[in-house]
Structure 1
Amino acid sequence: MKDDHIGRYISIAYRSNVTLLNKKLSNYGIGRGQYPFLIALYKKEGICQKSLCDFYNIDKAAAGRAIKKLVDKGFIIKKTDPNDKRRQLLYLTPKSKDFKKEFIEILKSNEKKMKKDLTEEEIEVFLKVIKKICFNLGVESTSLKEE
C-alpha cells in the first residue's frame, strides 16, 4: 500500500473509461472531448460555453474545439442570446435528439461496467471520497449554474 497513489488509480480508471467510450462512440463521429458537452446539453439546453467550462472544469479553448466539432458534425447549433448579443447559447439538433436514447444506453453500459461487483455502500463511499478529492484540488462547482 505504501506505493499506491490515488492519482495513479484515478488516471487509470479515467483512461480506461475514455478508451471504452471512444470505441463505442467512434462510429458516430463523437470523440472523448465532445461527449461531456452532449451529456450536459441533454440535461439542459440553451446554456453558454462558459457554463460548460465551469461545470466540467475545462479551459475555454478546449471547450471551444469540442463545441466546434459538435457543430460541424451537426449535433449542436449556436444561437445568439436574445438578452446578450455577445453570447452564444447551445442547443441540440434533431440529429442529436434522435441519438439521445442510444447515447444514454452507451453511457449506462459503461457505468454498469464500472459499478460491477460494488455494493451500494461502496459506491456511496467512493462518490463521497472522489468529491472531497475534487474539492481539495480546487474544483468548487459540481453542477451547472443557472443562466
Structure 2
Amino acid sequence: MKEKSVGKLVSILYRQSHVYINYALKDLNISSSEYIFMVELYNNEGISQEELSSLLLIDKAATARALKSLEEKGLLIRQKNLADKRANKVFTTDKGKSYKETIYSALRVWTKLITNGMDENTIDIVLDSLKSMSEKAGSTNYAELFSNGGEICEENK
C-alpha cells in the first residue's frame, strides 16, 4: 500500500499558493512572503513586531526583513512602543489599507480554486483538520521529541 504523505501535499499547496500570490499581487508589488503580514496587520493593527512573529510562527529575522520591505514600499510603519522602547508597534498606512480588499479578494479566489468541487461540509472539515495540524506542529517541542540523539522517543510519539 502506498504511504500517505501529509507533508508532501501541504508542501505542494504551500509552493503553489506562493506562485498564485506572486501573480495575483504582482501589480501591488507585494510578494508571497509579505502578504501574510499585511493580512495579520489588518486583523491586529498596532500589534508588536514580536507578537506578529509569534502569531505567524515566523522567525524574528524573517519578520524584520518582510516588515522593512513593506515599510520601504509605504504600506506600513513601525513605531517604538512607548511602554517598551525596545519593541516596535506595526501599523498599516493609508496606502496599505487601500490594498486590503484586493488582497482578500485574491485569497478568496485562491480558496475557490483549490476547493472547487467540494461541498461546504468537506471544506469545513479540511479547514478544521488543517488548523488542528498547524496548532500541533506549532506547539511541538522538537528538541524534546528527539531528545535521545535524533530518534523519536516512544513516549513522545
The normalised TM-score by structure 1 is 0.87
In 2, are the aligned partners of 1:71 and 1:77 still within 8 Å (CA)? yes
Root-mean-square deviation (CA, aligned residues, Å) is 1.6
Structure exhibiting the larger radius of gyration computed from Cα positions: 2
Query: Offset at 1:48?
Result: 0.9
Q: Does 1:85 align with 2:82?
A: no
Q: Does 1:105 align with 2:98?
A: no
Q: Percent identity?
A: 32
The normalised TM-score by structure 2 is 0.82
Aligned ranges 1:53-64 → 2 under 5 Å: 53-64=53-64
Query: Offset at 1:135?
Result: 3.2
Q: Does 1:2 align with 2:2?
A: yes
* Larger RCO of the pair (alpha carbons < 8 Å, separation 6+): 1
Q: AA paired with 2:30?
A: I
Query: Offset at 1:136?
Result: 3.2
Q: 1:135 to 1:101 in 2, by over 3 A?
A: closer
1: CA distance, partners of 2:129 / 2:100:
30
In 2, are the aligned partners of 1:45 and 1:91 still within 8 Å (CA)? yes
Query: Offset at 1:132?
Result: 2.7
Residue of structure 1 in register with 2:49 after alignment: 49
Q: State how many pairs are aligned.
A: 140
Structure 1: 5+ residue stretches without partners: 141-147
2: CA distance, partners of 1:21 / 1:38:
13
Query: Offset at 1:105?
Result: 1.3
Q: 1:135 to 1:92 in 2, by over 3 A?
A: closer
2: CA distance, partners of 1:100 / 1:33:
16
In 1, are the aligned partners of 2:28 and 2:99 still within 8 Å (CA)? no
